[in-house]
């Protein structure tokens, strides 16, 4: 059973009761992230997320860790382009502790100058780690190119320059603006009582002011293009992507099929054609990035320099095939069962159920039932997939980012047209 309550300061509380579960997962979701940041503050959402674990007026960082570890629980956080989430997973009778820990770090963190400087060094090292990991860096380069001119292209970690400039005053001002009731949602799933969660949240978050939602952001434009970033590496890292769909798009189930068939698993077309049949790559897959008003479908491969051109050509061949021919019935049925299986298996985790509550509210503004999601999968046809592929796999959207030293082939004149 799913219930929802909005308390006086604007905090929205959504719970799902799962009586057979031993655990409860609780998350605090804040409408902030790299997309809402000015260039000068790029990375501040992620920086603040780190700072919330550095100690409060009541607890040191070590005490926070000891308290959650003492009950066998999990306490963590992450930052995305459009939200930050602080979450805990505990046995159901320890839910008050989880609520207390999350409220304490969000409302009573100290943000000492010493901790800010230490965490600045940590995050600068995190940025350096990405730069030293080419199969991470190529995705950042692709994002910057694909979303160029839009804040979606800003790295979640920020840049060396922006992170180096954050002051305690700018951090506190950001927290004051972003961490308010109208920007905060609490979701919880597991063996719980809705009213008990509401009472705990209302008590512990009582001093949060309503505040304002972030200003609307500009929708991105899609330009396409090719960029080869030269770097002496053993492999060439390839990201080839195209326009995707927003999270709430009516065809979102169709693009789930498209991604699954192309590169979503070991039985997918790209994995079979490039790794299994030809041995041209160890890592080859596709994935979706979906936001409130935009999206991308991206293919990644890591391959020897001498094989880079062939790998890109094979990816384009599969895109062409998918956009021109219907997926055979047997392959389509397998993709359908895979999507339904993935969905249903994910629901065995209270953490996934908690996340599903939040994302449905953020992007759909409602809570579709599991049956509605299954029905959405069942309604997709091979013709739907071919039609969407022909719309998305267009040269005005296709973007190729490479990192490494591919052989002498001129990728700048590579024909990315697949829909003719």
Which among 317, 297, 289 has a CA at the least distance from the CA of 243? 297
Position 175 scores a pLDDT of: 97
Distance CA 70, CA 67 (A): 5
Domain of residue 273 covers 225-413
Q: Please report the pLDDT score of residue 149 as a whole number.
A: 87
Q: How far apart are CA 339 and CA 254, in angstroms?
A: 11
CA distance 209 to 189: 25
pLDDT over 70, % of the chain: 97
**Of the candidates 147, 173, 204, which is a domain's last residue?**
204
Measured distance CA(176)–CA(199) in Å, rounded? 24
- Give the residue among 296, 312, 300, 121 at the shortest CA–CA distance from 221: 296
Whether residue 239 sits in one domain with residue 180: no
In a domain, 420, yes or no: no
Whose structure tokens read 């927290």? 175
Residue 411 has a pLDDT of 61
pLDDT tens for each residue of 8-67: 999 999 999 999 999 999 999 999 999 999 999 999 999 999 999 999 999 999 999 999
Pull the structure tokens for residue 80: 């995305």
Residues 211, 183: Cα–Cα separation, whole Å: 8
Query: What does the pLDDT look like over 243-300, one tens digit per residue?
Result: 999 999 999 999 999 999 999 999 999 999 999 999 999 999 999 999 999 999 999 9
**DSSP secondary structure, 53-118, as one string:** TSBBSS-BHHHHHHHHHTTT-EEEEEE-SS-EEEEEEEEGGGHHHHHHHHHHHHHHB---HHHHHH
Q: Which of 280, 271, 277, 283 is nearest to 304 (CA)?
A: 280
- Residues 6+ positions from 319 with CB-CB distance below 8 Å: 242, 262, 389, 393, 418
Q: Quick one: 151 and 261 in the same domain?
A: no
Which pLDDT does position 413 carry in this prediction? 47
* Residues 372, 325 share a domain: yes
Give the pLDDT mean for 386-409: 91
Number of domains composing the chain = 2
Structure confidence by residue, pLDDT tens digits, 164-195? 999 999 999 999 999 999 999 999 999 999 99
d(CA 214, CA 124): 27
Q: What is the pLDDT of residue 126?
A: 98
Quick one: 254 and 398 in the same domain?
Answer: yes
Of 175, 204, 233, which residue constitutes the final position of a domain? 204
**Contact (Cβ atoms closer than 8 angstroms) between residue 81 and residue 33:** yes
Do 55 and 189 reside in the same domain of the chain? yes
Shared-domain flag, residues 176 and 231:
no
0.85 exceeded by pTM: yes
419 domain-assigned: no
Q: Is 212 a member of any domain?
A: no
What is the mean predicted confidence (pLDDT) over 214-241?
91
> Are residues 248 and 375 both part of a single domain?
yes
Residues 6+ apart with CB under 8 A from 349: 25
191 and 278, same domain (yes or no): no
Q: Are strands 23-30 and 184-190 parallel, antiparallel or unpaired?
A: antiparallel
Selection from 81, 77, 80 nearest residue 102 by Cα: 77
Question: Is residue 418 included in any domain, yes or no?
Answer: no
Q: Is the pLDDT of residue 157 over 70?
A: yes
Q: DSSP E strands: which ranges in 244-314?
A: 284-290, 295-303
Q: Is residue 15 part of a domain?
A: yes
The confidence score (pLDDT) of residue 205 equals 98
Q: What is the pLDDT of residue 214?
A: 83
What gap in Å lies between CA 225 and CA 241, rounded to an integer?
Answer: 10
Reply yes or no on whether the pLDDT at 417 is more than 70. Answer: no
Q: Report, as residue numbers or ranges, the catalytic residues.
A: 49
CATH no. for residue 137? 3.30.830.10
Closest CA to 383 of 313, 339, 327: 327
* CB environment 160-171: b (16+ within 10 A), e (fewer): eebbebbeeeeb
The CA distance from 359 to 371, in Å, is: 17
Choose one of 170, 204, 238: the last residue of a domain: 204
Both 288 and 184 in a single domain?
A: no
Identify the three-state secondary structure at position 4. strand
Q: Is the pLDDT of residue 420 over 60?
A: no
pLDDT tens track for 83-122: 999 999 999 999 999 999 999 999 999 999 999 999 999 9
| 194 and 126 inside one domain | yes
Q: Does the residue 213 lie in any domain?
A: no
Same structural domain, 198 and 233: no
Q: Is residue 210 part of a domain?
A: no
Tell me if 47 is assigned to some domain: yes
Whether residues 133 and 241 share a domain: the answer is no
Q: What pLDDT does 406 receive?
A: 85
Q: Pull the structure tokens for residue 319.
A: 């895109």
Per the DSSP assignment, residues forming a β-bridge with 77 are 86
- How many angstroms separate the CA atoms of 299 and 284, rounded? 7
């Amino acid at each position: 059973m799913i219930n929802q309550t909005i308390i006086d300061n604007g905090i929205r509380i959504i719970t799902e009761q799962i009586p057979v579960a031993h655990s409860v997962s609780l998350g605090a979701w804040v409408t902030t992230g790299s997309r809402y940041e000015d260039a000068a503050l790029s990375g501040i959402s992620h920086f603040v997320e780190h700072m919330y674990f550095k100690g409060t007026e009541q607890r040191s960082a070590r005490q926070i860790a000891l308290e959650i570890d003492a009950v066998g629980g999990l306490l963590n956080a992450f930052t995305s382009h459009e939200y930050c989430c602080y979450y805990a997973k505990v046995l159901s009778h320890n839910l008050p502790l989880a609520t207390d820990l999350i409220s304490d770090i969000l409302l009573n963190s100290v943000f000492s100058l010493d901790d800010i400087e230490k965490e600045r060094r940590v995050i600068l090292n995190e940025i350096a780690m990405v730069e030293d990991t080419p199969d991470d860096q190529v995705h950042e380069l692709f994002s910057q190119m694909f979303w160029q001119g839009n804040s979606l292209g800003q790295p979640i970690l920020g840049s060396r320059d922006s992170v180096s400039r954050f002051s305690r005053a700018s951090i506190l001002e950001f927290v004051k603006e972003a961490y308010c009731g109208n920007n905060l949602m609490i979701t919880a799933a597991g063996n719980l009582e809705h009213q008990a969660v509401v009472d705990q949240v209302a008590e512990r978050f009582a001093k949060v002011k309503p505040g304002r939602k972030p200003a609307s952001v500009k929708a991105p434009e899609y330009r396409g293009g090719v960029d080869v970033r030269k770097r002496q590496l053993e492999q060439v890292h390839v990201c080839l992507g195209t326009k995707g769909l927003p999270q709430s798009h009516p065809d979102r189930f169709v693009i789930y099929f498209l991604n699954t068939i192309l590169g979503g698993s070991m039985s997918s077309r790209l994995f079979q054609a490039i790794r299994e049949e030809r041995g041209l790559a160890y890592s080859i897959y596709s994935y979706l990035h979906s936001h409130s008003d935009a999206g991308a479908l991206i293919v990644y491969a890591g391959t020897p320099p001498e094989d880079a051109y062939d790998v890109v050509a094979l990816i384009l061949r599969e895109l062409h095939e998918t956009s021109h021919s219907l997926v055979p019935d047997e392959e389509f049925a397998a993709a359908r069962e895979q999507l339904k299986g993935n969905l249903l298996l994910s629901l065995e985790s209270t953490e996934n159920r908690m996340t599903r509550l939040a994302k449905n509210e953020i992007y759909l503004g409602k809570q579709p039932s599991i049956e509605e999601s299954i029905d959405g999968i069942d309604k997709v046809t091979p013709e739907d997939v071919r039609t969407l592929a022909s719309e998305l796999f267009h040269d005005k959207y296709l973007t190729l980012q490479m990192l490494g030293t591919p052989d002498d082939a001129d990728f700048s004149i590579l024909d990315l047209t697949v829909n003719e």
